[in-house]
C-alpha cells in the first residue's frame, strides 16, 4: 500500500490491526499512533515502543471487533 491509502484506512476511532507481507501484525490503538516519513511509517504501541515499517509491505488493515459484554 502507499502512505496515502494507509492514512485513509486508519481514520475512525480504532483500534486497528496492521498486517505486513511477512505475516507480522501490529496493534494500532488509534490512527494517531502511526506517523509517516517519506519512505517509512512508524507504529507506536501503548508502552511507547516504535516499530518502523515500509508501507509497501502493508498488506491489510482491519478494525478490531469490540467484544460485547456478556449478560450475567
Report the percentage of the chain scoring pLDDT > 70.
90
pLDDT digits (tens, 9 = 90+) for 55-69: 999 999 999 876 665
Bigger pLDDT: 70 vs 35: 35
CATH of the domain at 23: 2.30.30.100
Residue 72 has pLDDT above 60, yes or no: no
Q: How confident is the model at residue 12 (pLDDT cuts 50, 70, 90)?
A: confident
CA distance 18 to 24: 8
Q: Is residue 72 part of a domain?
A: no
pTM for this entry = 0.81
Provide the number of structural domains found in the chain. 1
- Is residue 32 a part of any domain in this protein? yes
Tell me what pLDDT residue 46 has: 85
Amino acid at each position: 500500500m502507499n502512505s496515502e491509502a494507509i492514512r485513509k484506512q486508519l481514520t475512525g476511532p480504532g483500534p486497528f490491526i496492521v498486517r505486513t507481507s511477512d505475516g507480522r501484525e501490529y496493534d494500532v490503538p488509534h490512527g494517531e499512533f502511526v506517523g509517516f516519513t517519506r519512505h517509512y511509517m512508524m507504529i507506536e504501541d501503548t508502552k511507547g515502543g516504535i516499530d518502523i515499517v515500509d508501507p509497501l509491505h502493508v498488506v491489510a488493515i482491519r478494525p478490531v471487533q469490540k467484544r460485547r459484554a456478556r449478560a450475567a
